[in-house]
Chains A and B, each alone.
Chain A
Amino acid sequence: MSAPRKVPGRTLARVFWRCLFLQAAWNRRGMQNLGFAYAIDPALRALYPEAARREEALRRHLGFFNCHPYMAAAIVGGAVHHEEKVAAGAEPGQQPLQYKQTLQGPLAALGDGFFWTALRPFFGAVAALLALLVGWPGILAALAVYNAIHLVLRVRLFRAGYLKGDAIVGDISRLGLPVAADRLRAAGAALCGVAAGVVVLRSLALAGGPAGIVAALAAGAGYVALARGARLLPIAYAAVLAGIGTAVLVGRLHGSS
């Protein structure tokens, strides 16, 4: 066993920066394989001065990899943790791969369920509602809060993965992401309802009573149609046509009375 090698802090910062490009060359065969190899490369260069060992390490990280892009920060950090041990001769070369294979599926499911189907849509709904009520400052505020949460979590996951390796599983489970996701989804649905109310009120104010009724009907009937499996764009076109048709009809009735 040789002397332990540590990746310098500056190099770790570079690895984290490169994590942000994880999906740059996403493909169906290796998925994020190229992105992972790109991200971890500075650490491998620091750990393996010998070209042959460095190439061998890079080769193992060019294999299949797919995870949620935010949660993957934990796996990249953990892979660096294991590569330090491999470089020092404390672990076999297969260990970083095993770590990646074990964690990528569960963390992908957790990340998709929390970030993509809960936190981001929730903040999308918040930003949309604030845009309707207060304009662009509301959007800026919502995006600032979302990115503060997302970037802090991304940095912390990377740090925890690097410092703790396999023990990171406990840290992530303590975050309680599935419970938070359920609450965010429910709150987001309510916010969309409030946004629909604002649209109905605005249509009443700007285009008259029939427009308000059409908007309320579009919201209600649209939800029911989508829940029954209707496709989004055809339904959107139908809503526009219904609005135009009603306005034309009301205009003719007014004209003939």
Chain B
Amino acid sequence: MGYLVLALVAGLAAVERKGFLQAMLSRPIALAPSIGWALGDLEGGLLVAAPLELLWLGAVNLGAALPVHEALGTAAIAGGAVLAGRALGGGVAPEVATLAVVLCAPVALLGRKADRLVEIWNERLAARAEAELAHHHPRTAVRSNLYGLVLPFAIAAVLAPLGAALAAAVVPAVLRAVPQAAGPLRVGFFAFAALACASGAKALRARTALALFFAGLGAALVVALVAVLARGGPA
């Protein structure tokens, strides 16, 4: 049942990403918690939402350029992490999230390749619409536009559960076989999340992004230090 739900949510996200609305609902920050909630672990989806959003902040459709399919990657990672956490009986811990990211992030690249196929399919739809209009079927011609939503939905609905199934099979097996790997993997997750923040700042292409990024980082650390000192030192 979990895989069916994941297929549906991933398919709808793929449609929202480009074909309909584009209201940020398919961005990692919205999609990962949605998948977590749909699979019964909102907190698990939340854990990966912020790092994935910042990692892929620059994944935007500019003109004819195709970015990585951040929605598909997110669906596979969040779905895989939640299902693996459930198999381990403890929810999505950082070590589970690290392995899910490592295993499923390439699905986003696969999604970009699939987008090329979608464009070829859509070219056929456009040609068919012209032919329908030539045969005096204007309603059929314009309706062809909606058929363009089918393939992105189907591709995401297949690839996201496949990626998640891989994570759900491999992650529990690794963590059961090598339980002492959990600590280092947890540190790996924080390193990944910090790198994702840098990726977000870089993607914003501000002239003074470097200075602003480090100023923000420094300010957060100083505020935390002041808060700790005001409380009378570390607990």
Contact = CB atoms under 8 A, between A and B. Distances in A.
Interface of A: 20-21, 23-31, 33-35, 37-38, 41, 51, 54-55, 58-59, 62, 66, 69-70, 108, 112, 116-118, 120-125, 127-129, 131-132, 135-136, 139, 142-143, 146-147, 150-151, 182, 185-186, 188-203, 206-207, 210-212, 214-220, 222-223, 226-227, 232-233, 235-237, 239-248, 251
Given A190-B213, A218-B191, A233-B105, A198 B199 contact: no
A251 B184 contact: yes
> By DSSP majority rule, is chain A's interface helix, strand, loop, or mixed?
helix
A69 to B, nearest CB: 6
Contacts of B33: 131, 136, 139
Contacts of B98: 240
A214 B190 contact: yes
B87 interface: no
B206 A189 contact: yes
B206 A128 contact: no
A197 B217 contact: yes
B212 interface: yes
Interface stretch (B2-10, B50-58, B167-175): B50-58
Contact of A192 (B94, B102, B198, B224): B198
Nearest 4 interchain pairs by C-beta: A193-B216, A197-B220, A25-B148, A243-B191
Given A207-B94, A248-B184, 13 more contacts: A34-B148, A37-B129, A112-B62, A189-B208, A192-B213, A194-B216, A194-B219, A195-B54, A199-B197, A215-B194, A227-B210, A233-B109, A240-B189
Contacts of B58: 121
Contact of B200 (A121, A135, A198, A244): A121
B91 interface: no
26 contacts: A25-B19, A25-B126, A25-B146, A38-B145, A62-B126, A122-B204, A124-B53, A127-B50, A131-B33, A143-B25, A151-B23, A186-B208, A192-B57, A192-B198, A192-B213, A193-B217, A195-B54, A199-B51, A203-B190, A207-B186, A215-B193, A216-B194, A218-B190, A226-B199, A240-B102, A241-B188
A136 B25 CA distance: 14
B195 interface: yes
> By DSSP majority rule, is chain B's interface helix, strand, loop, or mixed?
helix
Contacts of B54: 124-125, 128, 192, 195
A235 B221 CA distance: 24
Contact of A27 (B125, B138, B191): B125
Contacts of B141: 37, 58, 62
Given A34-B125, A34-B129, A37-B129, A147 B24 contact: yes
A131 B28 CA distance: 12
A201 to B, nearest CB: 5
B64 interface: yes
Contact of B119 (A28, A124, A129): A28
Given A218-B195, A226-B202, A69 B129 contact: no
Interface in B5-22: 18-22
Contacts of B189: 240, 243
Contacts of B42: 136
Contacts of B94: 206-207
A34 B144 contact: yes
Contacts of A124: 24, 27, 29, 53-54, 57, 200
